[in-house]
Amino acid sequence: MLKNQCIVKRLLGFTTVLLLIFSFSTSAWAGYVQFTNPIVQQRADPWVYKHTDGYYYMTASVPEYDRIELRRATTIQGLSTATPTVIWRRHSSGEMGGHIWAPEIHYINGKWYIYFTAGTSTDYFAIRLYTLECSAANPVTGSWVEKGKLKTNWESFTLDATTFEHNGTRYLVWAQKDPAIAGNSNLYIARMNGPTAITGTQVRIATPTYSWEKVGYSVNEGPAVIKRNGKIFITYSASATDSNYCIGLLTASDTADLLNANSWVKSANPIFTSNATTGQYGPGHNCFTTSSDGTDDIMVYHARSYKDITGDPLYDPNRHTRAQKIYWNVDGTPNMGIPVADGKTPSRFKSYNYQTRYINHYAYRGNIDTTKAGLLADSQFKAVAGLSGTGTLSLESINFPGYYLRQRSNGEVWLDKNDGTSTFKRDATFYKRAGLADSSWISFESYATPGQYLKHYNYQLVVGAAGTSTEKQDATFLEE
């Protein structure tokens, strides 16, 4: 009997340990968003729509510009392996027989709609807006019906329609050339009369004015809408579709008259551009969606992994669909950071006791600080296999590849370049532990000085003891 009681106690103890481990492994990662890029290769102008059925639906431009594909998955990453279904092909002649660009899928009033751009069989670039409709619950397997041209106030080069609803009114936003003014395309908005038509006068809300919008071509195109923090934001793409392609931003108050051009303010600088350090060029034509749990905003966009292109970039097929989390500045505006490198997206580490502050390497000194606009990348790291030991990790900067958070001999933590020595590798290596102040968070124990932890002191990062309650809080972080 005593022997059986001992066995039961041991089993109960083992079960408790397993439950604690499982609790840490799940809760510590709750809400943590990470992708492996690219999501889908050779798919430009991506559009990802998260529906109430638990699926993400994706459309995009294919390199041949001859068809519309649709795929779905229960996660954004799952779109990588989802089988695409061709739901429509261009006509063999006449209208909708030319280039087929930038399809977007939306769910409106119980039906599915795809807005897309199409040229004619005799002039592939005589592009206009068109719509498809599907009444099936699953649009991948359902039948699609052509609903014809979505007419604007005049006939000209027209592309990249998107739609959104605000305060009970549905709007269409698109790009179009105005024959009366210079430039290739401007952005327009109009009220919609049902899902397939606009009503009233279209309003020009943006035209290429800055030099970064007019490299190669004078372009404002590819609008995408996100509503947050009492504002309505429209991102758009500018310049030629090579490495000069970039993303700009329009902002309006959510109480403003959206059909008044003066309600929209254009940011003076692009918010997302090519980055040679991460090897991503011509990022643009994005859309917005949310993480599976709805807590994080995600930007999906395309980019190439090389700068130099032979011939017309429009026919270079290697614009790949990519995804990364976006953040929000203290003024309520979106902060996209930089287009991250191929592979797993980076992490940020939030302070337990200063939860608006993150581990940061501004001016190479490890610290916790509120991320200022333009410095998001200073707070993003790749958690890579430890430079020393086993079961360890090292924190590599995304905007200074080859540089790692490293404890120096005085205990200060700096972002230093890996010199290849065993001393550097040891000092830049940590164990990931359950958070000292909260086991659902994490702490980093030094590999070089076991029992000491990465922590902040006077907002600067150091490695030291973490015995007191305050020290434990200073050494605890949340990975995001």
Question: For 255-285, what is each residue's pLDDT tens digit?
Answer: 999 999 999 999 999 999 999 999 999 999 9
Q: What is the pLDDT of residue 31?
A: 54
> Which of the four pLDDT bands, split at 50, 70 and 90, describes residue 308?
very high
The answer on 339 and 300 residing in a single domain is yes
Q: Report residue 369's pLDDT band, with 50, 70 and 90 as the boundaries.
A: confident
Predicted local confidence at residue 364, as pLDDT? 94
Q: Please check whether residues 237 and 216 belong to one and the same domain.
A: yes
Range 306-331 average pLDDT: 96
pLDDT in tens, 173-194: 999 999 999 999 999 999 999 9
Q: 97 and 158: one domain?
A: yes
d(CA 59, CA 40): 11
In which element (H, E) is residue 11 found? helix 2-27
Q: Is residue 14 part of a domain?
A: no
Q: What is the CATH number of the domain that holds 425?
A: 2.80.10.50
Residue 359, CB-side half-sphere exposure with 13 Å CA sphere: 35
pLDDT tens for each residue of 399-447: 999 999 999 999 999 999 999 999 999 999 999 999 999 999 999 999 9
Q: Is residue 23 part of a domain?
A: no
Residue 361 lies in a domain: yes
Whether 283 and 299 map to the same domain: the answer is: yes
Domain end residue (candidates: 319, 343, 367): 343
Q: For residue 4, tell me if it sits in a domain.
A: no
- Tell me how many domains the chain contains: 2
Q: Rounded distance, CA 159 to CA 187, Å?
A: 10
* In a shared domain, residues 290 and 355: no
pLDDT of 86 reads: 98
Q: Hey, which bits of 229-332 come out as E strands?
A: 231-238, 246-253, 265-266, 281-290, 297-304, 320-325, 327-328
Note the pTM of the prediction, 2 decimals: 0.91
Q: How many alpha carbons lie under 13 Å from residue 286 in its C-beta half-sphere?
A: 34
pLDDT digits (tens, 9 = 90+) for 381-398: 999 999 999 999 999 999
Q: Using an 8 Å Cβ cutoff, are 442 and 28 in contact? A: yes
Tell whether 31 is covered by a domain.
no
Of these residues, 69, 104, 213, 221, which one is catalytic? 221
Q: Residue 264 sits in a domain of what CATH number?
A: 2.115.10.20
Angle, alpha carbons 94-100-106 (nearest 5°): 115
> Do residue 372 and residue 269 come from a single domain?
no
The whole-number average pLDDT for the span 86-113 is 98
Question: pLDDT band at residue 32, thresholds of 50, 70 and 90?
Answer: confident
Let me know: does 54 contact 290? Beta carbons within 8 Å.
Answer: no
15 located within any domain:
no
CA-based nearest residue to 232, from 113, 365, 332, 336:
332
Q: How many angstroms separate the CA atoms of 449 and 429, rounded?
A: 10
Same domain, 128 and 69: yes
Query: Rounded to whole angstroms, how far apart are CA atoms 353 and 368?
Result: 11
Burial class (CB in 10 A: 0-12, 13-18, 19+), 216: middle
- The alpha carbon torsion through 143, 147, 148, 153 (nearest 10 deg) reads -140
Q: Give yes or no for residue 16 having a pLDDT over 60.
A: no
Average pLDDT over residues 20-32: 41
Q: Out of 315, 343, 371, pick the residue that ends a domain.
A: 343
Q: Which residues pair with 162 in a beta bridge?
A: 173
Is 46 domain-assigned?
A: yes
Please determine, for residue 18, whether its predicted confidence score (pLDDT) is greater than 70.
no
State the first-to-last Cα distance of the chain, in angstroms, to the nearest integer: 50
In this structure, the answer to whether residues 302 and 174 fall within a common structural domain is yes
Residue 9 resides in a domain? no
Task: Looking at the structure, tell me whether residues 337 and 438 fall in a common domain.
Answer: no
The answer to whether residues 443 and 361 belong to one domain is yes
The pLDDT, as a whole number, for residue 371 is 54
Residue bearing the bigger pLDDT, 204 or 12 = 204
Same domain, 140 and 79: yes
444 forms bridges with which residues in the sheet? 432
pLDDT (0 to 100) of residue 233: 98
Tokens of 332: 């309520």
**Looking at 308, 343, 378, which one is the last position of a domain?**
343
DSSP string, 15-67: HHHHHHHHHHHHHTTTT----EE-SBTT-EEEEEEE-TTS-EEEEEE-TT--E
Please tell me the predicted confidence (pLDDT) of residue 20. 36
The residue range of the domain holding 323 is: 36-343
Query: Rounded mean pLDDT of 335-343?
Result: 96
- Torsion angle of the four alpha carbons 335, 340, 345, 348, in this order, in degrees rounded to the nearest 10: -50
Q: Are residues 243 and 378 in the same domain?
A: no
Catalytic residue list contains 95: no
